[in-house]
Amino acid sequence: MDSDEFYRIKRLPPYVFEQVNRQKAALRAKGADIIDLGMGNPDLPTPEHINAKLIETVGKPRTNRYSASRGIPGLRRAQAAYYERRFGVKLDPETQVVATLGSKEGFANMAQAITAPGDVILAPNPTYPIHAFGFLIAGGTIRQVPAEPGSAFFEALHRAVNHSVPKPLAVVLNYPSNPTAYVADLDFYREVVSFARRHDLIVLSDLAYAEIYFTDTPPPSILQIPEAFEVAVEFTSLSKTYSMPGWRIGFAVGNERLIAALARVKSYLDYGAFTPIQVAAAAALNGPQDCVDEARRIYRRRRDVLVEAFGRAGWEIPPPPATMFAWAPLPEPFRSAGMGSLEFAKLLQEEAHVAVSPGVGFGEDGEGFVRIALVENEQRIRQAARNIRRFLEKHGRAAHKGAKSDQKEVNQAS
């Protein structure tokens, strides 16, 4: 039996990004120096005091044993203290906080916990894939809503509760957003919470980029709306905040019924992260926070270099107000030629040796865009811009040969 005949596997088409990754591996094997702005894999080192806490804890008595699936109490307390400090939100570490093996695991297992086959979930498009696929794996059905937190979003919510059968179970929010970098304010959250309470809708808010922002006002938490505790759970992560992506530590916090459901599912599946990792994660949250400011400054400088250098090379990049991503429309002449984002990403990688993520990999409404991750240093970003300038000059020259041959060149090149 072919693996794609299995019920769940059929719901998981091969990752679009795999195609770009395979091409990247092949080019690297041939010696190409690929500047990788594709995957959102933070490249900054984990701050030293967090590493030191891990090392200090490994080998202490009993730290090798099965840990606590919900997270050790000290880690849950540290997360509650973070919410109080950062958002002015009080959480009960016993009933309103669960530590997860990265926020992705928490999100996926929340989907398992609450979804019955056929349940309808409202998820943004384009979005980080687990927001839709977590529910598809659990047997749910996705109804798309716009990623932008504006009037079209609320119109889509209204249409969904009026017309979808069965009535939607939950809505997914993600601000600051991956891949679009949209940000939301408290008025938006207030309106979502009020809507959700009226229509008995669960709200799952992914706040993975809480600390990666370039605006004067930091991104808010939905739990700053007191009534949100009736309907909402929020996911955060240490991956970006403390440059700890491989450590796999995140959190779900908020509504007690939902947190209990997630904790129950997890109690059957895992024993929690390795205790020294949890101890070091608590040290990250409780310790000095200047490392977070420094990471934010680095991403901001990279963003500015990207916008400036790519702009001079002929590719206008809208500056993202938050996240570690720029969401960029395909440059000319590819945009006018209607080239797909996957084709474009492959061509760019092949010819300019710059890897980006095709927008269509985040959902059909991501077509026409690519996501550029700020995960290489400023010098490498400038090098990427130089490569792209040559690439655009070559294709721009092709574009000026006349509409017909221009189209041909673009198609052939892909």
Ligand X SMILES: Cc1ncc(COP(=O)(O)O)c(C=O)c1O
**Contacts with ligand X, residue ranges (CB under 6 A):** 40, 102-104, 128, 174, 178, 206, 208, 237, 239, 245, 250
Q: How far is the CB of 399 from ligand X (least distance, A)?
A: 34
Q: How far is the CB of 35 from ligand X (least distance, A)?
A: 19
Q: In what order do the strands lie in the sheet with 141-146?
A: 97-100, 250-254, 232-237, 202-206, 170-173, 120-125, 141-146
Query: Could you give the CA distance from residue 336 to residue 105 in angstroms, rounded to a whole number?
Result: 40
Q: How far is the CB of 239 from ligand X (least distance, A)?
A: 3
Query: Could you give the CA distance from residue 121 to residue 137 in angstroms, rounded to a whole number?
Result: 12
- The single residue listed with the structure tokens 């190409």 is 32
Q: How far is the CB of 104 from ligand X (least distance, A)?
A: 3
* 226 exposure class (CB count in 10 Å sphere: 0-12, 13-18, 19+): exposed
Q: How far is the CB of 274 from ligand X (least distance, A)?
A: 16
Choice between 239 and 255, CB closer to ligand X:
239
DSSP 87: H
Choice between 134 and 168, CB closer to ligand X:
134
Choice between 306 and 385, CB closer to ligand X:
306
Choice between 75 and 392, CB closer to ligand X:
75
Choice between 128 and 391, CB closer to ligand X:
128
Query: Could you give the CA distance from residue 250 to residue 262 in angstroms, rounded to a whole number?
Result: 13
Choice between 236 and 341, CB closer to ligand X:
236
Q: Which residue is nearest to ligand X (CB)?
A: 102
> Tokens representing 331?
């440059």
- The single residue listed with the structure tokens 């030629």 is 337
* 372 exposure class (CB count in 10 Å sphere: 0-12, 13-18, 19+): buried
Choice between 274 and 334, CB closer to ligand X:
274
Q: How far is CA 238 from CA 205, 208, 219, 235, in A?
A: 16, 8, 16, 11
Q: How far is the CB of 372 from ligand X (least distance, A)?
A: 14
- CB–CB of 154/171 below 8 Å? no
Choice between 103 and 255, CB closer to ligand X:
103
The H or E element that residue 202 is part of is strand 202-206
Burial letters for 281-316: b for 16+ Cβ neighbours within 10 Å, e otherwise? bbbbbebebebbeebbebbeebbebbbebbeebbbe
Q: How far is the CB of 179 from ligand X (least distance, A)?
A: 8
Q: How far is the CB of 96 from ligand X (least distance, A)?
A: 19
Q: How far is the CB of 244 from ligand X (least distance, A)?
A: 8
Choice between 128 and 133, CB closer to ligand X:
128
Q: How far is the CB of 174 from ligand X (least distance, A)?
A: 5
- CB–CB of 214/320 below 8 Å? yes
How far is residue 5 CA from its own chain's centroid?
A: 29
**CB atoms closer than 10 angstroms to residue 34:** 17
**Peptide bond before 333: cis, by omega within 30 degrees of 0?**
yes
Choice between 168 and 250, CB closer to ligand X:
250
Is 341 in a helix, a strand, or coil? helix
